[in-house]
Amino acid sequence: MTRTTPTQITGILADQYGLAGALSRLPGENENYLLTTERGMRYVIKLAPDEHTDDVLDLEQVAAETIATSGTGIAVPAVIPTRRGSLETRFERPDGVVFRARVLAYVPGVPWGTAGVPTPQRRARVGRCIARIAYTLGSMTHPSARRTHQWDLTAVASHRSSTALIGEPVRRRLVDEALTLYVATALPRLAGLPRSVIHGDLNDENVLVEGDEISGLLDFGDCLHNPTVCDLAIALTYLTFEEPDPIAAAAEIVGAYHGVRPLSVAEIEVLFPLICGRLANSVLIAAERRRIDPHRAAWFETEPHAWRALERFLAIDPATATAWLMEDTELSPPPSPFAPRTQLLAHRRQRFSDALSLSYHEPLRFVQGRGQFLFDNRGWPHVDFYNNVAHVGHSHPRVVAAGRRQMERLNTNTRYLYDELTEYADRLCATLPPPLECCFFVNSGSEANELALRLARTHTGQHDVLVLDHAYHGHTTTLIDISPYKFMGKGGEGRAKPWVHVVPIPDGYRGAHKGMDRRAGVAYGDEVGRIIRAADRPIAAFIAETLPSVGGQIIPPEGYFETAFRHVRDAGGVCILDEVQVGFGRVGTHFWAFELQQVVPDIVVLGKPIGNGHPIGAVVTTRAIADSFARAGMEFFSTFGGNPVSCAIGMAVLDVIREEGLQRHALELGTYLRDGLRALMTTHRLIGDVRGAGLFIGIELVRDRDTLEPATDEAAAMINALRDRRLLVGTDGPFENVIKIKGPLVVTEDDATMFIAAVDHTLSDLE
* Residue 629: how many other CB atoms lie within 10 Å: 21
Cβ nearer to ligand PMP, comparing 332 with 639: 639
Specify the stretch interacting with ligand PMP by CB under 6 A; choose among 125-133, 445-453, 529-537, 669-677: 445-453
The whole-angstrom separation of Cα 343 and Cα 263 is 35
Applying CB under 6 A, which of residues 43, 380, 472, 594 lies at the interface with ligand PMP?
A: 472
Specify the stretch interacting with ligand PMP by CB under 6 A; choose among 176-184, 441-449, 586-594, 629-637: 441-449
Applying CB under 6 A, which of residues 162, 226, 240, 444 lies at the interface with ligand PMP?
A: 444
- HSE, CB side, 13 Å, CA atoms: give it for residue 42: 11
Least distance to ligand PMP, CB of residue 389, Å? 9
474 lies in the binding site for ligand PMP (CB under 6 A): yes
Specify the stretch interacting with ligand PMP by CB under 6 A; choose among 3-11, 204-212, 444-452, 528-536: 444-452
CB-CB contact of 585 with 663 (8 Å) = yes
In 139-200, which residue ranges form alpha helices assigned H by DSSP?
169-181, 187-190
Cβ nearer to ligand PMP, comparing 299 with 594: 594
CA distances from residue 721 to 311, 315, 725, 730 in whole angstroms, order as listed? 19, 18, 7, 11
Of 552, 577, 611, 183, give the one whose Cα is nearest residue 388. Answer: 611
Cβ nearer to ligand PMP, comparing 474 with 508: 474
**Residue whose beta carbon is closest to ligand PMP:** 445
Applying CB under 6 A, which of residues 4, 154, 406, 581 lies at the interface with ligand PMP?
A: 581
The whole-angstrom separation of Cα 357 and Cα 404 is 31
578 lies in the binding site for ligand PMP (CB under 6 A): yes
Least distance to ligand PMP, CB of residue 387, Å? 11
Specify the stretch interacting with ligand PMP by CB under 6 A; choose among 17-25, 152-160, 304-312, 575-583: 575-583
Specify the stretch interacting with ligand PMP by CB under 6 A; choose among 102-110, 155-163, 469-477, 659-667: 469-477
Cβ nearer to ligand PMP, comparing 281 with 549: 549
Applying CB under 6 A, which of residues 607, 642, 692, 743 lies at the interface with ligand PMP?
A: 607
Cβ nearer to ligand PMP, comparing 79 with 479: 479
449 lies in the binding site for ligand PMP (CB under 6 A): yes
Q: Does the CA dihedral 519-522-528-531 come out positive or negative?
A: negative
3-state secondary structure of 77: coil
CB-CB contact of 580 with 448 (8 Å) = yes
The whole-angstrom separation of Cα 281 and Cα 178 is 10
Least distance to ligand PMP, CB of residue 582, Å? 8
Q: Under 8 Å CB-to-CB from 84, ≥6 apart: which residues?
A: 16
641 lies in the binding site for ligand PMP (CB under 6 A): no
Alpha-carbon Rg for the chain, nearest whole angstrom, is: 33
- HSE, CB side, 13 Å, CA atoms: give it for residue 50: 12
Residue 588 zone, left/alpha/beta (φ > 0; ψ -120 to 50; rest): left
β-pairing, 366-370 with 373-376?
antiparallel
445 lies in the binding site for ligand PMP (CB under 6 A): yes
- HSE, CB side, 13 Å, CA atoms: give it for residue 187: 17
CA distances from residue 537 to 268, 501, 534 in whole angstroms, order as listed? 70, 10, 8
481 lies in the binding site for ligand PMP (CB under 6 A): no
Cβ nearer to ligand PMP, comparing 40 with 491: 491
Least distance to ligand PMP, CB of residue 432, Å? 18
The whole-angstrom separation of Cα 236 and Cα 229 is 11
Least distance to ligand PMP, CB of residue 631, Å? 27
Least distance to ligand PMP, CB of residue 478, Å? 12
Specify the stretch interacting with ligand PMP by CB under 6 A; choose among 438-446, 522-530, 531-539, 643-651: 438-446
Cβ nearer to ligand PMP, comparing 472 with 561: 472
Specify the stretch interacting with ligand PMP by CB under 6 A; choose among 305-313, 503-511, 515-523, 577-585: 577-585
Let me know how long the chain is: 767
Least distance to ligand PMP, CB of residue 449, Å? 6
* Residue 533: how many other CB atoms lie within 10 Å: 10
Specify the stretch interacting with ligand PMP by CB under 6 A; choose among 36-44, 93-101, 511-519, 576-584: 576-584
Cα 338–341–346 angle (5° rounding)? 110
The whole-angstrom separation of Cα 329 and Cα 372 is 33
Contact positions with ligand PMP (CB under 6 A) in 746-765: none
Specify the stretch interacting with ligand PMP by CB under 6 A; choose among 52-60, 145-153, 360-368, 442-450: 442-450
Applying CB under 6 A, which of residues 234, 428, 580, 719 lies at the interface with ligand PMP?
A: 580
* Residue 364: how many other CB atoms lie within 10 Å: 16
Of 671, 692, 657, give the one whose Cα is nearest residue 749. Answer: 671
545 lies in the binding site for ligand PMP (CB under 6 A): yes
The whole-angstrom separation of Cα 737 and Cα 714 is 8
Contact positions with ligand PMP (CB under 6 A) in 202-261: none
Cβ nearer to ligand PMP, comparing 446 with 621: 446
Using CA atoms in the order 56, 60, 63, 67, what is the torsion angle rounded to 10 degrees? 180
CB-CB contact of 283 with 160 (8 Å) = no
As beta bridge partners, residue 92 has 98
473 lies in the binding site for ligand PMP (CB under 6 A): yes
The size of the interface with ligand PMP (CB under 6 A), counted in residues, is 14
Least distance to ligand PMP, CB of residue 443, Å? 8
Cβ nearer to ligand PMP, comparing 480 with 759: 480
Cα 98–99–104 angle (5° rounding)? 165
Least distance to ligand PMP, CB of residue 548, Å? 8
**335 DSSP assignment:** P
The contact set with ligand PMP (CB under 6 A) reads 444-446, 449, 472-475, 545, 549, 578, 580-581, 607
